[in-house]
Amino acid sequence: MSLGCYQTVLFPTEGKSDFSSWNPLKNSQLKGNKISGVKFSNFQVSQRRKCIPMKLKSLLSVDSAVEIEGKEGVNTGSKYDAIVIGSGIGGLVAATQLAVKGAKVLVLEKYVIPGGSSGYYQRDGYTFDVGSSVMFGFSDKGNLNLITQALAAVGREMEVIPDPTTVHFHLPNNLSVQVHREYSEFINELMSKFPHEKEGILKFYGECWKIFNALNSLQLKSLEEPIYLFGQFFQKPLECLTLAYYLPQNAGDIARKYVKDPDLLSFIDAECFIVSTVNALRTPMINAGMVLCDRHFGGINYPVGGVGGIAKSLAEGLIDQGSEILYKANVTNIIIDQGKAVGVKISDGREFFAQTIISNATRWDTFGKLLKAENLPKEEENFQKVYVKAPSFLSIHMGVKADVLPPDTDCHHFVLENDWTRLEEPYGSIFLSIPTVLDSSLAPKGRHILHIFTTSPLEDWEVSSGHIY
Ligand SMILES: Cc1cc2nc3c(=O)[nH]c(=O)nc-3n(C[C@H](O)[C@H](O)[C@H](O)COP(=O)(O)OP(=O)(O)OC[C@H]3O[C@@H](n4cnc5c(N)ncnc54)[C@H](O)[C@@H]3O)c2cc1C
């Protein structure tokens, strides 16, 4: 069982005024494709009936090769160009991007393997994804395949299995919608459920494509760096103006311009909720445009062997570049000198120093625990007054006999039973991933993996000291 924190996923095509006739995906190839950074495999769908909880062991089986490699050569005395606290995908991408440009980087990870919420663990022949399994930005197309690009930067290529259905929604009033990889198939299915809203559906998703196309035309390095953005503006003024227009808008308001059916508006809420854990009115339109189109543009692809392979590959690539990772290194303090972060201290007392300190820990851990209160930057103080934490997840990972699942079961499901108002309530909805539908190598023969998770406030799990679940 694990609790994790889901962060808003930002993912980002050329708008056309005639949305109805436009299918940007006609030429997408799903099978047997090899590209730089990502290699496609044929996907298999297997069949499945009765649920057997797997036997639990107290010890995790981890890839010792990753651990040992990562420990070599770390020297507290050496001065690094950069230290990265945490080896989640975010930390590893930052570290590898610096390393390939010649920087000497040290990544400090408190756990025993890399990946964080996109990590993995193994038990009794099963390889479980800790969290993430719908991988956005992991295709062979466009500018927004940021995971593919990060892997390619360190010379890594992963074999992937194209997911034919990003998610299968099971919603109130018996509404069942499959988000097919092919955009036209998805849109036609949605229009068949809401025939009176055809025009509204095409217009709403059409606006999403305008955003996606604008983002996809840029070299998306930073949305926060003014000088970089200024340079981009001169190269692509129309696209930048499109993004500036949508920047202050949310998906719910735009949906309401075109759609009246309350069930369809609730469906759009569910579309946003599964990527941002908030409804459409609270989901920035830029975010909605990215994810609701990337899944059709490049498609969702599952890495053969499990999501953990992405972090492992990045970690190996980092070491190949001459940088280092130290596991079981819990950073307890960021060391400040004259108002600047210059080093870190880990729980065993060792200190490491670098010109730049990058934190991949949560924002609240970075500013609330690793830095002393008196060092809190003013911008952060202001930010803390307005931000609201996303809910945590309660996850259950289990192995089941393959025949418990009906044939042709999709890999990813979202279930909200009976009542739309429960969407954002804790425990109100269920996410289900069955990655073995795509990659049977993750489980022993004749078995499937179920990863079931729901939103759950962390406070529900706070217990007096000494109590262990
Ligand atoms: C159940 C679940 C399902 C999800 N499903 C999806 C999905 O399908 N698609 C999707 O796109 N996203 C999904 N997400 C979200 C996605 O997994 C995360 O947004 C992403 O993995 C976060 O990466 P990160 O690098 O920012 O942080 P993290 O993965 O949180 O990594 C932070 C790392 O820093 C380490 N660390 C923290 N503090 C310290 C310290 N003091 N010292 C040393 N190390 C430290 C942690 O151990 C961890 O390894 C899911 C998340 C969860 C929990």
Token pair 């259905």 in the structure block, residue: 165
463 within some domain: no
DSSP 260-314: --HHHHHHHHHHHHHHHSS-GGGSBHHHHHHHHHHIIIII-EEETT-THHHHHHH
**Whole-number pLDDT of residue 465:** 61
250 within some domain: yes
Ligand 1 pocket member 109 (CB < 6 A): yes
157 within some domain: no
143, 219 contact by CB (below 8 A)? yes
Total domains in the chain come to 1
Among 9, 62, 67, 117, the mutation site with the greatest number of ligand 1 atoms within 8 A of its Cβ is 117
| 437-458 core/surface letters (b: 16 or more CB in 10 A; e: else) | bbbbebbeeebbbbbbbbbbee
**Whole-number pLDDT of residue 373:** 85
Query: What is the per-residue pLDDT across 342-398, written as a single tens digit (0 to 9) for each?
Result: 999 999 999 999 999 999 999 989 999 999 888 888 889 899 888 878 889 999 999
Nearest CA to ligand 1 atom 49: 116
Ligand 1 pocket member 456 (CB < 6 A): no
Distance in angstroms (rounded) separating the CA atoms of residues 43 and 29: 13
279 within some domain: yes
Taking CA atoms, 412 is separated from 32, 41, 84, 142, in Å, by 22, 19, 32, 24
Ligand 1 pocket member 9 (CB < 6 A): yes
386 within some domain: no
Q: Which range marks the domain in which residue 247 is found?
A: 1-12+182-285
Strands 447-456 and 430-433: antiparallel
46 within some domain: no
Work out which ligand 1 atom sits closest to the CA atom of 346.
42
**Whole-number pLDDT of residue 56:** 28
Among 93, 118, 145, 358, the mutation site with the greatest number of ligand 1 atoms within 8 A of its Cβ is 118
186 within some domain: yes
**Whole-number pLDDT of residue 220:** 74
Which residue stretches of the chain have pLDDT < 70?
Answer: 1-78, 223, 464-469
**Whole-number pLDDT of residue 75:** 60
**Whole-number pLDDT of residue 40:** 58
Nearest CA to ligand 1 atom 10: 132
**Whole-number pLDDT of residue 389:** 80
**Whole-number pLDDT of residue 21:** 28
Ligand 1 pocket member 85 (CB < 6 A): yes
Give pTM, 2 decimals: 0.85
Instruction: Determine the residue type at 300.
Output: I
Between the CA of 48 and the centroid of ligand 1 the distance, in Å, is 31
246 within some domain: yes
